[in-house]
């Protein structure tokens, strides 16, 4: 048999690859490829690059390799690369927004004691301890956490997000008259099955705080002006 020119075989290769040529053509191509590494390489390249004719996809599915074709598609298609980029961009965006919300909303930073100013500590008529608290750095306090340790130390810990705000700092938790009701705290603890009597009250964290009161300390009686701060609370 005369050797068929490579150009003719190259024209036939796609048909051969797609399995849509006659038996005779198929045989011709196969015979040529056996002795021609150039054309064989072209066919091999086709198998690698295309790899996804509708027949192949169907075959893959039948062979339970659908996952493989998805993976192949994912890895090779430019469209997929774009979608992949889009998905990654969306995820990064979500992570960044969530991170920003977190930094401005999650109250995870304890206010250092050196900017906490406690003044006018006094005893209200009902027995509660009143005090005025102010954050001297001018930033807002978003939340106050309470903790009573096993030794009876009661901590009122002011916390803020990582990105702190000055908004409401002049009227909120960062600048106001507050009180602590020892009897109530003791009763709450008892109700929780933890019978610890309060020995001391601190504003700040267990590591960094200001003492407001400790057992044995005699506090001055609250002035009328301070009593007046809590009148409405008593009515509620």
Interface residue list for Zn ion (CB under 5 A): 6, 36, 38-39
Nearer to Zn ion, 29 or 200 (CB): 29
Q: How many whole angstroms from its chain centre is CA 25?
A: 61
Nearer to Zn ion, 39 or 173 (CB): 39
Nearest distance from C-beta of residue 42 to Zn ion, angstroms? 8
- Could you tell me where the DSSP H helices lie in the chain? 6-18, 23-35, 37-49, 54-62, 66-76, 78-105, 182-191, 224-229, 231-235
* Burial status of residue 110 (CB atoms within 10 A of its CB: 0-12, 13-18, 19 or more): middle
1 in helix, strand or coil?
coil
Nearest distance from C-beta of residue 37 to Zn ion, angstroms? 8
Nearest distance from C-beta of residue 25 to Zn ion, angstroms? 14
Nearer to Zn ion, 39 or 201 (CB): 39
Nearer to Zn ion, 3 or 71 (CB): 3
Residues 6+ apart with CB under 8 A from 108: 159, 161, 162
- The CA dihedral of 135, 139, 140, 146, to the nearest 10 degrees, is -50
The two tokens of residue 36 are 């021609």
Nearest distance from C-beta of residue 16 to Zn ion, angstroms? 12
Q: Between β-strands 109-110 and 143-148, what pairing exists: parallel, antiparallel or unpaired?
A: unpaired
Please give the DSSP secondary-structure letter assigned to residue 221.
B
Nearer to Zn ion, 3 or 190 (CB): 3
Nearest distance from C-beta of residue 72 to Zn ion, angstroms? 28
Nearest distance from C-beta of residue 36 to Zn ion, angstroms? 3
Nearer to Zn ion, 34 or 149 (CB): 34
Nearer to Zn ion, 6 or 66 (CB): 6
Task: Give the residue from 108, 211, 206, 213 showing the smallest Cα distance to 148.
Answer: 206
Nearest distance from C-beta of residue 31 to Zn ion, angstroms? 11
Task: Give the residue from 154, 160, 182, 188 showing the smallest Cα distance to 173.
Answer: 160
């Amino acid at each position: 048999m005369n050797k068929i020119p490579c150009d003719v075989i190259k024209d036939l290769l796609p048909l051969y690859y797609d399995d849509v040529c006659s038996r005779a053509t198929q045989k011709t191509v196969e015979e040529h490829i056996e002795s021609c590494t150039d054309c064989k390489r072209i066919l091999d390249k086709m198998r690698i690059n295309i790899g996804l004719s509708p027949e192949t996809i169907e075959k893959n599915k039948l062979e339970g390799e659908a996952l493989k074709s998805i993976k192949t598609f994912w890895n090779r298609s430019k469209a997929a690369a774009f979608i992949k980029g889009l998905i990654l961009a969306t995820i990064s965006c979500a992570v960044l927004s969530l991170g920003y919300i977190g930094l401005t909303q999650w109250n995870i930073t304890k206010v250092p004691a050196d900017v906490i100013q406690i003044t006018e500590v006094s005893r209200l008529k009902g027995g509660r301890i009143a005090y005025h608290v102010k954050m001297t750095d001018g930033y807002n306090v978003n939340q106050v956490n309470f903790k009573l340790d096993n030794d009876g130390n009661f901590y009122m810990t002011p916390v803020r997000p990582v990105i702190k705000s000055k908004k409401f700092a002049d009227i909120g938790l960062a600048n106001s008259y507050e009180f602590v009701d020892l009897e109530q705290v003791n009763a709450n603890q008892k109700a929780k099955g933890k019978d610890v009597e309060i020995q001391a009250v601190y504003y700040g964290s267990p590591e960094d705080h200001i003492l407001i009161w400790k057992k044995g300390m005699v506090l001055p009686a609250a002035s009328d002006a301070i009593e007046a701060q809590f009148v409405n609370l008593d009515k509620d």
